[in-house]
Amino acid sequence: MSNTSTSDIAAIDVHAHYGDYNFAGVSPEQVDWMTGCADEVVRRATRANVAWTVASPLLGLFPRGKADAAAGNDEAARVVPATPGLLQWVIIHPLQPRTYEQAAEALKQPHCMGIKIHPEEHCYPIAEHGDAIFSFAAEHGAVVLTHSGEDRSMPEAFIPFTDAHPETTLILAHLGCTSDIDPTHQVRAIQQSKAGNVYVDTSSARSIMPRMVEWAVDKVGADRLLFGTDTPLYHTSMQRIRIDHADLSEQDRRLILRDNALRLLEIPNSDPLATAGDAPQPTQ
């Protein structure tokens, strides 16, 4: 393994949010700590040498079962283009049909990287709505980022849809997240995928466990992992340092931090943190 630091790489955070942490059953202090406006999210990203942050608005996800995803999309359409360093996931909520219309328009915009779904916060089982979501994604050539690891969103439940739509790309969020005792679900789902179009991001508390990230790379390869933070719910720098100090080769860490995102997403060429020698190239 290389001892060379990767902290000088302008990373791409593929899983972030901004806004108020409107989550029931937690203390006012926790609400305050896990809230972050768009400017604050970018400020923390800049300090951690994260060039681009792909975010969805918390307004469209919380409170559980009551979120107005369409309002969140309307907000993001205003906030994201006005915030340098921020890119957008447009939210699809299959129980709120207008979000499909919004997604069709948002996906035409250069700041929108794809679709965000959250079966847990929106309270629907992916098994009942996956075909409609992935048919839409295939029609629009869109990458899908999904929450995964809980009862309505177990990683394995997505595989029939990704196999049926091999032209789509799915990023399972939260490496190691699980509602049972098994933190391997995301990796096992990637292994089960026949189409080879399933990836996982590192945006979980579980991913900071020693050897978790390294185990995942050993099982599915570094080209299947993408750097994510779940900021402002978690601290960007904490998630970044886990990858910078992972017991992996420099090449593997670079893939996770940046190169895989450049390959899968249409990241803008004008990288706000890039030096002349590290500017991203357009995806092919």
Q: Which domains does the chain have, with CATH numbers?
A: 11-266 (3.20.20.140)
Task: Write down the mean pLDDT value for the chain.
Answer: 94
Share of the chain above pLDDT 90, in %: 91
Residue 274, pLDDT > 70, answer no
Rounded Cα distance between 173 and 111, Å, is 20
Strands (E), the chain: 11-18, 50-57, 86-91, 112-117, 143-146, 169-172, 198-201, 225-226
Q: What is the pLDDT of residue 24?
A: 83
In this prediction, residues 87-105 reach a mean pLDDT of 98
In this prediction, residues 201-225 reach a mean pLDDT of 97
How many angstroms separate the Cα of 101 from the Cα of each of 96, 105, 138, 179? Answer: 10, 7, 15, 32
Residue 284, pLDDT > 50, answer no
